[in-house]
Structure 1
Amino acid sequence: MASTPVHWSRIGEAGTVMGMKLFLLTFRIFGRSGFQLFLYPVICYYYLLRKSARQASKQYLQQIRPFLPVEQRSSLSSFRHFMVFGEVLLDKLLVWMGHIDKDDVILVSRDTIEKIDCQRKGGIIIVSHLGNFEVGSALANQIPNMRLTLLIYTRHAEKFNSLMKTVTGNSDMEIIQVSDVSPATIMMLSNRINAGGYVVIAGDRVPVSGQARISMVRFLGKLAPMPQGPFILAGLLKCPVYLMFCLKQHAQYHVYFELFLERLKFGDRKKRLETLDNTVQEYAKRLEYYCLQTPLQWFNFFPFWGDNQVLTTNPIPPVESKVDIS
Structure 2
Amino acid sequence: MSQAIVSGWMRPERGGPSLCRLMLWVTLRFGWPVGQALLPLITAYFLATGSDARAASRSYLGRALGRRPNLFDVARHFHSFASTTLDRVFLLSDRSDRYRITIEGKDVLAQALSLGRGCILLGAHVGSFEVLRSIGRHSPMTVKVLMFRGNAGAASALLEQLDPGFLDSVIEIGTPGAMLQVGESLARGELVGMLGDRAPRGEKTIPVEFLGAPALLPAGPLLVAAMLHAPVVLFHGVRTGRRRYVVGFEPFADEIVLPRGRRDAALQGWVQLYAGRIEALCRAYPFSWFNFHDVWAPIPSSTRP
| TM bracket, shorter-chain basis | 0.7 to 0.9
Give the corresponding residue for 1:148. 143
Q: 2:219 aligns with which of 209, 216, 228?
A: 228
Report the CA distance between 1:115 and its aligned residue: 4.4
In 1, the alpha carbon distance for the partners of 2:125 and 2:58 equals 17
Q: Does 1:168 align with 2:149?
A: no
In 1, the alpha carbon distance for the partners of 2:46 and 2:131 equals 24
Give the corresponding residue for 1:313. none
The within-5 A match list for 1:51-90 is: 51-66=51-66, 77-90=73-86
Return closer, same or farther for 1:287/1:199 CA change in 2, 3 Å cut-off: same
* More relative contact order, 1 or 2 (CA 8 Å, 6+ apart): 2
Return closer, same or farther for 1:76/1:122 CA change in 2, 3 Å cut-off: farther
How big is the alpha-carbon RMSD for the aligned residues of Structure 1 and Structure 2? 2.8
Return closer, same or farther for 1:56/1:41 CA change in 2, 3 Å cut-off: same
In 1, the alpha carbon distance for the partners of 2:27 and 2:89 equals 11
Give the corresponding residue for 1:205. 198
Alignment-mate amino acid for residue 206 of structure 1:
A
State the SS of the aligned residue for 1:225.
strand
Give the corresponding residue for 1:25. 25
Structure number having the greater helix percentage: 1
Return closer, same or farther for 1:158/1:176 CA change in 2, 3 Å cut-off: farther
Contact 1:96–1:170 at 8 Å: present in 2 too? no
In 2, the alpha carbon distance for the partners of 1:58 and 1:303 equals 10
Give the corresponding residue for 2:256. 264
Give the corresponding residue for 1:289. 280
Alignment-mate amino acid for residue 43 of structure 1:
T
Contact 1:24–1:90 at 8 Å: present in 2 too? no
Q: Does 1:195 align with 2:188?
A: yes
Q: 1:238 aligns with which of 212, 218, 229?
A: 229
- Provide the aligned length of Structure 1 versus Structure 2: 291
Give the corresponding residue for 2:103. 107
Give the corresponding residue for 1:4. none
Return closer, same or farther for 1:261/1:16 CA change in 2, 3 Å cut-off: farther
Report the CA distance between 1:161 and its aligned residue: 5.2
In 2, the alpha carbon distance for the partners of 1:273 and 1:247 equals 32
| Deviating 4+ runs (over 6 angstroms) | 73-76, 117-120
Contact 2:16–2:154 at 8 Å: present in 1 too? no
Give the corresponding residue for 1:304. 295
Return closer, same or farther for 1:172/1:154 CA change in 2, 3 Å cut-off: closer
Q: 1:91 aligns with which of 87, 91, 111?
A: 87
TM-score normalised per structure 2: 0.85
Contact 2:14–2:153 at 8 Å: present in 1 too? no
Return closer, same or farther for 1:18/1:196 CA change in 2, 3 Å cut-off: farther
Report the CA distance between 1:152 and its aligned residue: 1.0
Give the corresponding residue for 1:131. 127
Report the CA distance between 1:294 and its aligned residue: 1.0
1:59-103 CA distances to partner (integer Å, 9 max, x unpaired)?
A: 1111222189xxxx8996101111111111111221122222697
Return closer, same or farther for 1:230/1:53 CA change in 2, 3 Å cut-off: same
Return closer, same or farther for 1:291/1:26 CA change in 2, 3 Å cut-off: same
Contact 2:113–2:119 at 8 Å: present in 1 too? no
Return closer, same or farther for 1:272/1:143 CA change in 2, 3 Å cut-off: farther
Give the corresponding residue for 2:42. 42
Query: Identity, % of aligned pairs?
Result: 26
Contact 2:171–2:181 at 8 Å: present in 1 too? no
Give the corresponding residue for 2:12. 12
Alignment-mate amino acid for residue 277 of structure 1:
Q
Return closer, same or farther for 1:21/1:307 CA change in 2, 3 Å cut-off: same
